[in-house]
Structure 1
Amino acid sequence: MKALCRDCFWTGDEQPRRCPSCGSMRVVRHEELGVLGIAHLDCDAFYASVEKRDRPELRDVPLIVGGGVRGVVTTCCYIARMSGVRSAMPMFRARKLCPQATILKPDFQKYRTESRRIFDKVRDLTPLVQGLSLDEAWMDLSGTERLHGAPPAVTLARLQADIEADVGITVSIGLAPNKFLAKIASDLDKPRGFSVIGAAEATAFLATRPVGILPGVGPVMVQSLEKSGYRTVGDIARADLRDLADRFGQHGLHLHRLANGQDSRSVNPNEARKTISAETTFNEDLNRAEDLEDQLWPLCEKVARQLRAEGIAGRVAHLKLRRPDFQIVTRRRTLPVPTQTAKTLFAVARELLAAEPKGQPYRLIGAGLSDFVDGQEAGADFFAEGERRALKGEKAVDILRAKFGKGAVVTGRALKKE
């Protein structure tokens, strides 16, 4: 199979521009189409797409999902992107670029619900699904041809159509021989795309791309590579291995493999999520410790509630601060016992905050937990009686809020914040 119609699912060994069965122009053509099994699924402007689905009057207008004058863009629709708006952009800049945009605050509970609907469909096709976030995941469909009666490419095209028809949003698919190439492929023809990168053309395809496209290469690493004469992926692919190793150690050798389209990582559904966190941006800079703590408490509640819902506990607490000049400060501390409670996370984050310079203004604060273990380990230590009591109390609050609503139980600190 070297061609596939995404509308009627016709397949063939010829590669026509138009489907010979239904006449559609949406034909995927590739020499390796019938043998590739690693895919990356990425929802198109997910949060904005969900909001537009639920509010049809917003279908043809620019939409930004974000909050506050001093917050950042969570995501935006493709119409807003035509004005230059991008995710993580400061809201004040997004408003200047697209003053006619409709702005909505994110509704993460709704997005999580829709994410589950989408990825339940994915897991019906293969157990090898590795989530990256609410709106994207890798999947391995290798060896499923007999199970589904079709090669992985056909199964993916049917999945894409099913999600659009049933959930009401579009997704883009990248199909390739490995995870790295599949993730790049899914971004090539958004929205509603289906792109393929084969092993044969991988090195040539990557050659002209900037080095920042490689995973693990952030802004600082980009500068280091460019200073050393490596500006494109092709520069790294052609580089002398000894020189890369001398300059960048094992990481340099890893980048060389990626630059040649090689990635041995398997799709691992059990790969641990790195961090669960929450943050908020203030309308005005805050510098008083008590004001910052008032903002910190509900974030700790949110993080702890999510850990309890997922049945996990965290061993490392995190504090994040952003100064007025946008410089980010991060602090972390390993806990004596894993926790699922807002009380413990707040206590540690509060201590980390107290160690920072007094009177320093901040525009953002965040809290999080990482290094996850099974939730049964929370408070299991013999000396963790306080943690067990806190966990019992917070679980009781979860039950009351689930039954009577979020406002059924409100802490004194939360009332003070309001």
Structure 2
Amino acid sequence: MRKVVHVDADAFFASVELRDDPSLRGKAVAVAYHGPRSVVTTATYEARQYGVRSALPLRTALARCPHLIVIEPRMDAYREASRIIQGVFHEFTDLVEPLSLDEAYLDVTTSKRGPPSATLIAQEIRRLVRERTGGLTVSAGVSYNKLLAKLGSGMNKPDGLTVILPEQADALLARLSVGDFYGIGPVTAGKLERMGIKTGADLRARSLPELTSAFGSHGAHMYAIARGIDERPVDPSDDRKSVGTEDTYDTDLRTLPEMLAKLPGLSERTSRHLTRHGLAGRVVAVKVKFANFELLTRQQRLPAPVQAPEEIERVARRLLTADLIGGRAVRLLGVSVSALLDPQGRDVAVPLFRLV
């Protein structure tokens, strides 16, 4: 049985700002770029009391909380804090799978140091992060797979630790709302609820053929997670890491030609980042966020690595199709390159906090 820890920093960007400017403590603070289409990246817990949360349009956040203090992101400061936090993780295990600057999975089944207890290791990680970052806190979930560990890390925020034992999993999952399951977004949760499936117990009562008929391969995923089944290993490989660029537009893009016209600039900036780090990549991906915040990505693995902007753009144009867009308005486009190689063609491990 694996011992998995999921660690998630508490209101990470905002917490860094409060650490560096103590006068902000106890106030409603959001980190966001200024602009008519800006969204909140992180908000303090005081701001969350007014319904201000990540991905909320900034103008909506200001309407809900007129006294909200808005701070422009300082990515260099966040990357430095992330570097310290990731360093703590690697003191205990090499099996670290970063998901973003502020969260990661750790497999501590066989740890490099500390007691043979995932719970005690998680406690020590939390202590060291607070000590070495000047007071930043993280929440941790401990269980026997990634699904339950991630669920646990969100249950007692901020600065919490939740352990989910095998004998506790069934009852916990049964009472969850379907929208609380990792991998079930608002659209899918709405469809499930229209089918009369509102809780984990309701989901578990449906057969595998019934779920796959309604949701395809995603139905098989839901069948498994309702039962606490998650066989994914903690993956420290770098294929999932990417160098890329994305833009949120002040006015929705409504036609495919408008969208295709954005690809040269996105590809050029992505190429520039690759060149700066001496990298090329074998996978090109396009990211699309629609006006209703639904997110889609499409990617293609190539026989040879690419770095030049025209090569990246050529693949991106193949991926960004009328069928993908479906006539919908688009608020964000992104282009990225992953499966990264150095100039000698060797796989590289690029720290997540250095990516753009």
TM tier relative to shorter chain: 0.7 to 0.9
Identity %: 35
Which residue in the other structure is 1:42 paired with?
8
Whether the 8 Å CA contact 2:251–2:331 is kept in 1: the answer is no
Give the alignment partner of residue 334 of structure 2, picking from 367, 387, 397.
367
Structure 2 residue 17 is the aligned partner of structure 1 residue 51: yes
1:316-349 Cα deviation digits (max 9, x unpaired)? 24264756x7687877677674323445435665
More off after superposition, 153-162 vs 225-234: 225-234
More off after superposition, 261-270 vs 336-345: 336-345
In structure 1, distance between residues paired with 2:256 and 2:147: 44
Give the alignment partner of residue 158 of structure 1, picking from 102, 124, 128.
124
Whether the 8 Å CA contact 1:292–1:365 is kept in 2: the answer is no
Give the alignment partner of residue 65 of structure 1, picking from 12, 19, 31.
31
Whether the 8 Å CA contact 2:239–2:340 is kept in 1: the answer is no
SS at match of 2:19: helix
In structure 2, distance between residues paired with 1:287 and 1:227: 30
1:255-295 Cα deviation digits (max 9, x unpaired)? 23321222222112116316543323344567899998997
Considering only aligned residues, what root-mean-square deviation do their CA atoms show, in Å? 3.6
TM-score, normalised relative to structure 1: 0.69
Q: Against the structure 1 CA distance between its residues 332 and 270, is the aligned structure 2 distance closer, same or farther, given a 3 Å change threshold? A: closer
Offset at residue 351 of structure 1 (A): 8.8
1:167 partner letter: T
Which residue in the other structure is 1:118 paired with?
85
Whether the 8 Å CA contact 2:29–2:43 is kept in 1: the answer is yes
Give the alignment partner of residue 105 of structure 1, picking from 58, 65, 72.
72
The number of aligned residues is: 339
2:86 partner letter: F
Which residue in the other structure is 1:173 paired with?
140
Offset at residue 353 of structure 1 (A): 8.0
SS at match of 2:5: strand
More off after superposition, 272-281 vs 187-196: 272-281
Whether the 8 Å CA contact 1:314–1:369 is kept in 2: the answer is no
Which residue in the other structure is 1:189 paired with?
156
2:245 partner letter: A
SS at match of 1:367: strand
Gaps of 5+ in 2: 346-356
1:31-60 Cα deviation digits (max 9, x unpaired)? xxxx97210000111111111111222122
Gaps of 5+ in 1: 1-34, 379-418
In structure 1, distance between residues paired with 2:121 and 2:295: 43
TM-score, normalised relative to structure 2: 0.80
Q: Against the structure 1 CA distance between its residues 246 and 148, is the aligned structure 2 distance closer, same or farther, given a 3 Å change threshold? A: same
Which residue in the other structure is 1:226 paired with?
193
2:13 partner letter: Y
- Superposed, 1:206-285 pairs within 5 Å as 206-248=173-215, 251-270=218-237, 272-273=239-240, 276-283=243-250
Whether the 8 Å CA contact 1:131–1:138 is kept in 2: the answer is yes
Structure 2 residue 286 is the aligned partner of structure 1 residue 318: yes
1:20-79 Cα deviation digits (max 9, x unpaired)? xxxxxxxxxxxxxxx972100001111111111112221222111111232111111111
1:221 partner letter: T
SS at match of 1:201: helix
More off after superposition, 36-45 vs 330-339: 330-339
Q: Highest Rg: 1 or 2?
A: 1
More off after superposition, 63-72 vs 217-226: 217-226
Whether the 8 Å CA contact 1:130–1:271 is kept in 2: the answer is no
1:88 partner letter: A
Offset at residue 156 of structure 1 (A): 1.8
SS at match of 2:247: strand
Whether the 8 Å CA contact 2:110–2:116 is kept in 1: the answer is no
In structure 2, distance between residues paired with 1:117 and 1:301: 31
Whether the 8 Å CA contact 2:151–2:182 is kept in 1: the answer is no
Which residue in the other structure is 1:3 paired with?
none
More off after superposition, 214-223 vs 93-102: 214-223
SS at match of 1:51: helix
In structure 1, distance between residues paired with 2:317 and 2:21: 40
1:252 partner letter: G
